[in-house]
Homo-oligomer: A and B are copies of this chain.
Amino acid sequence: MRNGFCLLPLALACAGAPLSAIDAEPAQLLKLRPVPFTQVRIRDSFWAARQETNRVAAIAINLAMLEKAGNIHNFELAAAGATNGYSGPVFMDSDLYKGLESVAYSLAIHPDADLERRLDAIISKIAAAQQSDGYLDTYYIVKEPGKRWTNLRDCHELYCAGHLFEAAVAHYQATGKRAFLEVAVKLADHIDSVFGPGKRLGYPGHPEIELALIKLWRATAEPRYFNLARFFIENRGRHYFAEEHHTPLDRYDGSYWQDDVPMVEHQKIKGHAVRAAYLMSGATDVAAETRDGALLAMLDRVWRNTTERNLYLTGGIGPSAQNEGFTTDYDLPNLTAYQETCASVALAQWNHRLALLYGDARYADVFERSLYNGALAGMSLDGTRFFYVNPLASAGRHHRQEWFGCACCPPNICRTIASLGGYAYAFSDDGFWVNLYIQGSASARLQGQEFNLDVATDYPWDGKVLLRPRLERPAKLGLRLRVPGWCHGASVSINRRRIANPRVERGYLVLERAWDNGDSVELDLPMPVQRIAANPNVKADLGQVALQRGPLVYCVEGCDQSEPLSSLYLPPAGQWRAEKEETLLGGIVAIKGAVEIAPQPSPDGGLYQALAPPRRVDIIAVPYCVWDNGQPGPMQVWLPAAPARGP
């Protein structure tokens, strides 16, 4: 139940509660179009600053690290016909592609001739490495020539190709240049010549290419790319990896690769988390076109299982380091939470696709949760260090690293931040949808004219949003504003007149009228500090609560407290206030309050001991996304709701 306008502050199911519309009848496939990142401007203090840091620090560091680690040199080797000297793991190419994708998005936001020249130079090297038949994977070209497509399960050729497609499409959209896109097309054509009906069976050990082929299809209008994506989706689960590796079927558990059953038969999220979320993203893209009821039903089922039983409060997935993925429902440990940065990004991408498909705010709720918390934590405030693993509690030994031997995460969060504008808005023929509240503007071609929307807000620090459409002439359309699932008591005014009972559809306020220049919409999303409890089935969080304000999940860091974290708790009657801290962690709204730390009876004391009054201890909580921006130290998202019992 979404409670945007519920006046009673009843316990709210923030995520994953059933939506009766979908239960009752097949949901309508709205297939909204996203407003592309090129049509969105971000001019706020939160994301604009991060995009700038991303550009000047993180992306530059990514390129330098990729250079240093040999990711680019691998292409030079391949172009030169070398058969040794390859550096790094089998999926090195993909990290470079994600890095380049980040650069492309960044160029669209902030033109930079030097950076663009550098990008073009790398693209030339990539093009030079491409084989005459279109094949391109430096690992196989340099290190294992002649062994192409022999180990789809483990060797990431299709995964790397997918990231090339994504980077190439981004580059084309950002710059209008076709050089990279042509490499992508040649590679896609090559792959299409190998796999497909009447050709080879096969699909990627690490899904990703499916969603990338859809992007390439949309950029080129070449239906073979869609069909190939559909082929990969619809054939998955035929135990290809067992055959490939001569594994007897009775000893084959394909669940790690989501290859245990055909796609339509999945009952729950399983296996490697990033694989699972990319796969569901591609499946969503395919189902949006095929309108395959069984595939859509599977997606709904698995999405519910994910968000109702396998999602961290911070919007990440995959609790276990052992398989970088899922274990059993409700297994969400905090200290050992894996919650890979890439998995948060992948889950956000899947939910973005579902949000466009159904126009239902609950998907954007999950997107927002993943983005502002699990994903954003992946990068330090100064853009120089990265988390691969994102625990929800630390004893003080977890700290962002400069780079990783397996460097999938840094460029993944870089490209997400750089392309963020593309996730914020969507439109249909008669409506304009606002999913994320970010100061700036967006525009889309609607009803034969340019529809512009200017947005002023201090979100996520404040829930007041002022929206002003700009049009060439008045146009009747529905402006749809997401009421976040965390929000109670949202209110809206048009031209300063409060709308008494605004229409709410699938979590969106629907403001339908003939909009004209000069109109203004004031949306107010109250942001009290919320005490959040987990479903009691989550044993790791039993008796514990977390603080959330707006979309941000908070945590307590040892460095901010006067007492050890082990003595802190978050009582029901606590008074928590949000306070702007301009100088702390780059400027945040901190949550402050005090708890009473009570003396405990001592085993060395008498049989009965009068307890002295509790000591008042201040607590400062900071957004989870900015934790660990100093010396390594202890951190907890969840704290007990009550003081610890005696010794």
**Interface residues as binary, A617-643 with B (CB distance below 8 Å gives 1, 0 otherwise):** 000000000000000000000000111
Interface residues in A495-545 (C-beta closer than 8 Å to B):
530-538, 542-543, 545
- A566 to B68, alpha carbons, bound, how many Å? 64
Query: Would you call B601 and A11 a contact (CB within 8 A)?
Result: yes
Q: What are the interface flags for A540-555 relative to B under an 8 Å C-beta threshold, 1 for contact and 0 otherwise?
A: 0011010010000000
Measured in the bound complex, the distance between the Cα atoms of B446 and A486 in whole Å is 79
A 579-608 to B, binary, CB cutoff 8 A, 1 in contact else 0:
000000000000000001111111101111
Closest to A10 in B: B612
Known A596-B573, A611-B572: A605·B17 in contact at CB below 8 Å = yes
User: What residues of chain B lie closer than 8 Å to A11, measured between beta carbons?
Assistant: 599, 601-602, 605, 609-612
Complex copy number for this chain: 2
Interface code A81-119, partner B: CB below 8 Å = 1, 0 otherwise? 000000000000000000000000000000000000000
Contacts of A463-497 to chain B: CB distance below 8 A: 486
User: B641 to A610, Cβ gap below 8 A?
Assistant: no
Inter-subunit contact B642/A643 (CB<8 Å): yes
Chain A residues 317 to 350 lying within 8 A of chain B, measured CB to CB, are: none
> Chain B residues near A646 (CB, 8 Å)?
533, 536, 542-543
What residue in chain B is nearest A533 (Cβ atoms)?
Answer: B601
Chain B residues near A608 (CB-CB < 8 A): 13-15, 313, 532-535
Q: Are A598 and B645 in contact (CB under 8 A)?
A: no
Q: How large is the interface on A (under 10, 10 to 19, 20 to 34, 35 or more residues)?
A: 35 or more
B542 A606 Cβ-Cβ under 8 A: no
Question: Does B572 lie within 8 Å of A607, measured CB to CB?
Answer: no
A425 to chain B, nearest CB (A): 26
Nearest B residue to A543, CB-CB: B645
Chain B residue nearest in CB terms to A646: B536
**Residue of B with least CB distance to A597:** B572
Q: Which residues of B contact A532 (CB under 8 A)?
A: 608-611
A213: chain B residues at CB < 8 Å are none
**Interface of chain A: mostly helix, strand, loop or mixed:** loop
Minimum distance in angstroms from A479 CB to a CB of chain B: 27
- Chain B residues near A531 (CB, 8 Å)? 610-611
**Closest residue of B by beta carbon distance from A603:** B536
Whether the Cβ atoms of B543 and A14 lie closer than 8 Å is no
Cβ-closest chain B residue relative to A609: B11
The stretch of A36-44, A191-199, A266-274, A303-311 that contacts the partner chain: A303-311
With both chains docked as a complex, state the minimum distance between the C-beta of A569 and any C-beta of chain B, in angstroms: 8
List B contacts of A309 (CB < 8 A): 607
Q: Which residues of B have CB within 8 Å of A254?
A: none
Q: Is A16 an interface residue (CB 8 A)?
A: yes
CB distance B643 to A14 under 8 Å? no
- A601 CA to B531 CA, complexed, in Å: 11
Our pick among B10, B597, B607 for the contact of A538 (Cβ within 8 Å) is B607
Proximity string of chain A (169-182) to chain B, C-beta cutoff 8 Å, 1 when within and 0 when not: 00000000000000
Write the nearest CB–CB distance from A524 to chain B, whole angstroms.
18
The answer to whether the Cβ of A564 comes within 8 Å of any Cβ in the partner chain is no
Residues of A1-59 whose CB lies within 8 A of B: 9-17
Kindly report which residue of chain B lies nearest to residue A612, judged by CB atoms: B9
In the complex, the answer to whether B610 meets A14 with C-beta atoms within 8 Å is: yes
Cβ contacts under 8 Å, A647 to chain B: 536
A439 to chain B, nearest CB (A): 26
A610 near B530: Cβ-Cβ < 8 Å = yes
Q: Does A293 contact B (CB under 8 A)?
A: no
Q: Closest CB of chain B to A71's CB: distance in Å?
A: 38
Bound complex: CA A527 to CA B230 (Å) = 79
- Whether A613 sits at the interface, judged by CB under 8 Å, is yes
| A571 is an interface residue with CB less than 8 A from chain B | yes
| Residues of chain B contacted by A610 (CB below 8 angstroms) | 11-12, 14, 486, 530-532, 548
When distances are taken between beta carbons in the complex, the residues of chain B under 8 Å from A530 are 610-611
Cβ of A396 under 8 Å from chain B: no
- How near does chain B come to A551, taking the closest CB pair, in angstroms? 13
For chain A, residues 556 to 581, give those with C-beta under 8 angstroms from any C-beta of chain B: 571-573
User: Contacts A537-B603, A573-B596, A641-B645 known; A609 to B9 CB distance under 8 Å?
Assistant: no
What residues on B are CB-neighbors of A12 within 8 Å? Answer: 606, 609-610
Check B536 against A606 for contact (C-beta < 8 Å).
no
A614 within 8 A of B: yes
Is the Cβ of A572 less than 8 Å from the Cβ of B601?
A: no
B534 engages A601 (CB within 8 Å): yes
Distance in angstroms between the alpha carbons of A587 and B388 in the assembled complex: 67
Cα separation A530 to B542 with both chains bound (whole Å): 30
Give the CA-CA distance A307 to B613 in the complex, in Å: 25
A283-311, CB < 8 A from B:
307-309, 311
A15 and B606: CB pair below 8 A? yes
Query: 5 pairs across A/B with beta carbons < 8 Å?
Result: A13-B605, A13-B606, A531-B611, A535-B605, A571-B596
**Residues of A at under 8 Å CB distance from B?**
9-17, 307-309, 311, 313, 486, 530-538, 542-543, 545, 548, 571-573, 596-603, 605-614, 641-643, 645-647
> Given known contacts A311-B607, A536-B601, what 12 new A-B pairs fall within 8 Å (CB)?
A13-B607, A16-B607, A17-B605, A532-B611, A535-B606, A543-B646, A571-B596, A572-B613, A572-B614, A573-B598, A573-B614, A642-B643
